[in-house]
């Protein structure tokens, strides 16, 4: 099993390497891939030292799998080149998510839609993954009419530059900025770029990707906010269902869903937080309560490590499905 990690030196790439090791994915040859400026750099994977190679070299090595986390432009150019030599690509960027010919996969929800012919598979946006993980079992039982979601997103979703900006501001040091405003002691209702409709790309990803993964009939509206947190993304989610829910049943459904941990013990102040979700692969759900303004509404608080289940872990889980089927 020859596995390439494209973007191996980036934040998600580093986590991807860790997840592959932790889950003992059966790799016989590891191929770290990055931009030309990183070619030749040494890195350790599973106790062995490897040299970073460039994209063309990686294509010529014909890996069985290529796990991409190198940005949309890189993926658009290079994913088809890997696919042409028989490599199966799992891509973390937004490049292929809404393409009608490519699957958008959260393994716990729709892995059964994959086939051996899927050579470029899209990993959903981090904020979408954790939300649909909780929505899917509820939609299956009760049917969801409408979703109103507000996100509180970690700066790690922006990348190393944003982490450095927060650290600089915390220390009172001038430096390069990832955001148009300070992030320390602040909240920016500005994730990704603004679009003509007044929403950001991040907000529209929540809308469009939920439609593709779950059901296009679900009405979704979103507000995405960047906050000075490192551990993960949080989401306040209001659902309007097709029938009045039983809260104990909702908790039971979520508790029985693989990949979800219910933390909803108010007497002991137990609820999901990015601080406790950090470095974990599960999605945490709490503050489960009726929307008292309408009979068929509930509220949820959903938290996950955006670099793990929101990116690297979900990617590796897709790879595990492909391997279990004998397709890679």
* Cβ–Cβ under 8 Å, residues 45 and 18: no
- Give the span between the Cα atoms of 236 and 46, in whole angstroms: 38
What number of CA atoms fall less than 13 Å from residue 88's CA on the CB side? Answer: 23
High-pLDDT (> 90) share of the chain, %: 100
Q: How high is the mean pLDDT of the chain?
A: 97
The share of the chain scoring above pLDDT 70, in percent, equals 100
pTM value is 0.96
Catalytic-residue membership of 126: yes
**At a CB cut-off of 8 Å and minimum separation 6, what does 23 contact?**
316, 320
Question: Is residue 133 scored above 90 in pLDDT?
Answer: yes
Q: What is the pLDDT of residues 97-112, one digit of tens each?
A: 999 999 999 999 999 9
Q: Kindly report the CA angle at 52 between 16 and 281, in degrees rounded to 5?
A: 5
What sign does the dihedral 116-117-120-125 (CA atoms) show? negative
**Is 90 exceeded by the pLDDT of residue 118?**
yes
Candidates 3.40.50.150, 1.10.150.120, 3.40.50.720, 3.40.50.1370; correct CATH number of 2-124+311-324?
3.40.50.720
Q: Do the Cβ atoms of 25 and 3 come closer than 8 Å? A: yes
CATH of 127-305, one of 3.30.70.330, 3.30.360.10, 3.40.50.620, 3.40.50.720: 3.30.360.10
In 3-state terms, what secondary structure has residue 327? coil
- Ordered alpha helix ranges (H), 145-289: 160-171, 201-213, 247-255, 274-277
No. of H helices and E strands in the chain?
10, 13
Phi, psi of 201 (to 5 degrees): -60, -40
pLDDT in tens, 39-89: 999 999 999 999 999 999 999 999 999 999 999 999 999 999 999 999 999
- Nearest Cα neighbor of 14 from 307, 270, 304 is 307
pLDDT given for residue 228 in this prediction: 98
Closest CA to 157 of 209, 231, 104: 231
Examine the pLDDT at 231 and tell me if it is beyond 90: no
Residue spans of the domains in the chain: they are: 2-124+311-324, 127-305
Q: Which of 102, 126, 139, 191 is catalytic?
A: 126
Q: In the annotation, is 191 catalytic?
A: no
Residue 66, strand partner residues: 4, 89
Q: Which of 102, 139, 191, 233 is catalytic?
A: 233
């Amino acid at each position: 099993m020859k596995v390439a990690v494209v973007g191996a030196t980036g934040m998600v790439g580093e986590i991807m390497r860790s997840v592959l090791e932790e889950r003992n994915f059966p790799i016989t040859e590891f191929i770290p891939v990055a931009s030309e400026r990183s070619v030749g750099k040494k890195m350790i994977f599973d106790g062995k030292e490897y040299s970073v190679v460039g994209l063309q070299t990686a294509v010529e090595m014909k890996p069985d799998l290529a796990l991409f986390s190198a940005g949309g432009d890189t993926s658009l150019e290079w994913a088809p080149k890997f696919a042409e030599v028989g490599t199966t690509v799992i891509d973390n960027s937004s490049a292929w998510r809404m393409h009608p010919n490519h699957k958008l996969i959260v393994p716990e929800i729709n892995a059964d839609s994959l086939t051996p012919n899927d050579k470029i598979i899209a990993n959903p946006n981090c904020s979408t993954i954790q939300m649909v993980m909780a929505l899917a079992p509820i939609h299956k039982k009760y049917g969801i009419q409408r979703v109103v979601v507000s996100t509180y997103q970690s700066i790690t979703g922006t990348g190393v530059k944003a982490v450095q900006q927060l650290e600089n501001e915390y220390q009172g040091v001038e430096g390069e900025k990832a955001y148009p405003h300070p992030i320390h002691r602040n909240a920016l209702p500005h994730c990704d770029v603004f679009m003509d409709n007044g929403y950001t790309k991040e907000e529209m990803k929540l809308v469009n990707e939920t439609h593709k993964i779950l059901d296009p009939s679900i009405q979704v509206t979103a507000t995405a906010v960047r906050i000075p947190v490192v551990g993960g993304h949080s989401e306040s989610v209001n659902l309007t269902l097709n029938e009045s829910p039983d809260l104990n049943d909702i908790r039971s459904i979520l508790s029985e869903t693989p990949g979800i941990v219910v933390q909803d013990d108010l007497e002991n102040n137990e609820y999901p937080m990015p601080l406790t979700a950090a470095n974990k692969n599960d999605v945490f759900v709490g503050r489960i309560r009726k929307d008292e303004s309408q009979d068929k509404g509930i509220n949820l608080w959903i938290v996950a490590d955006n670099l793990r289940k929101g990116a690297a872990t979900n990617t590796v889980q897709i790879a595990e499905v492909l391997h279990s089927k004998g397709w890679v």
